Structure 1
């Protein structure tokens, strides 16, 4: 009779262990974000709703806003187990279009998962009149020209995009390269310019690595994000970010009244960095043109 008792104790312990794993996964939270807070009426923006703390399917109650339409553009899920603790999240994407210019507010969005529920924060955005002719992408700034200092500082590379259907979510990798021999301060996140394509705002801290390119060592910042085309055609895009170079300044021997500082020994660049100080030089790092091709949806049947 002891064997069934031992087996019962084992099963009871297994049940408690599994229960503790599910408890670690509890704690529902939701977050909503817009790819752009301002965009022309002939463009659109991407609304992303992320549900954290549950691997089960969620019910999202989208609000009804006069003059605004929401079109589902897919969902992505992620789950991980670290030291027995389960964490999961899912992100639902919606394309937002407006019938006319104006300022709109998305009220808190309710999300239900099983017997739990949570709400997002309210968000406001502006829809501007359509730009005459070809303009910049929805909610993005105009990419500035590049100076010689910009060329010297670094560059941006974006992974290939290929051909995609309207509204298709396309994963892309953006890398910003800065020469290691320069001290660099980043002033902004990567911004996209172009027409007919939207990109979510980059929120996460980039991964930092080093790479050698053509014999030069670069500090590299990497972002994983997505692009989505909102109208058919071949769209030319550009990516850029603002930064500052801290450039060592050449010291002047006059500051020291000549003497030993005129000795050739002190012509070493090390003494420039010690006695010369640094000058902050603003630069704009950009990518070559990136072409995103949006093809028509296949005919039904």
Structure 2
């Protein structure tokens, strides 16, 4: 039977008005003597000038385990993060509070809320875990814990393991969200204590479709671990190759990272444009038509391109049903500029036919969206466009 490994990740933030924040997390909330845990201190949207200042806690030993840096785009904003990885080695059992953790910032010292770590005697395993937890674990890392309905939330799912095969795609439970398909994952390595872990990073994006206190997750992922078996005795023939091909045991496991709470705010009703149809992000619009001179009954092609950052594939134009024109359904093309489709263009090509020669222009085209960075609605407009319509030979 596959064993279930459940991991509790404490993820706590402190932030300022500029979106600059410090978060602190433990890869496990409980461990035992001799089994280290990783403390990650992440600085978002600013570069720290020095290492985090850690508390002196009798019974715990801290050691630097390296740093990492990431950049990504979300809803028109460039998000950067700088992470300090710190190895925490327990020396005696007990319940510990990791506080204060402090990071220098130009505005002063930023301090995430305290983290708690439970340490059991050597050989004991935390309830709900087992000995395989040291060989593999999975983490669910949303880039934000507060968003608007329709706002894109980039997500990372990280699988850490020492040795294994048959890794399955992660399953993200996300009721109340639309989730993008996973592009090809990336692979890296990290050191934790004296052990090297393989790290598979799966990226996706979730878009909340309703307001409220929602749960993103849990994440479930299965694989087969290759666990080294202890050699209790040597071969009587003193063969150095004895047991060489039998010193690993394959163990199927189901890994799980717990759900993360996401606060989803409704879009404001105040100042909502009449043309608004649900678009959230940051966009620009281009529009043109051809030909500019036609006869009554001839087609005119209206081309509209909306480019920017957000849920590109969900963008739609308001209906172009203008008096004096016969309209057809537009053809739509999507061009993605990143694997998740969060950056790109949506191109609409619509044919309209003037029904009389009194028409002198194609009306103004509007597209409106909500900008989650400025928390305001914006209206983009092009036109009206001059159009010369000559009388036709035949009545329509």
TM-score by structure 2 length? Answer: 0.33
- More helix by percentage: 1
Greater length-normalized contact order (CA 8 Å, ≥ 6 residues apart): 1
State which structure, 1 or 2, has the greater radius of gyration over its C-alpha atoms.
2
TM-score by structure 1 length? Answer: 0.42
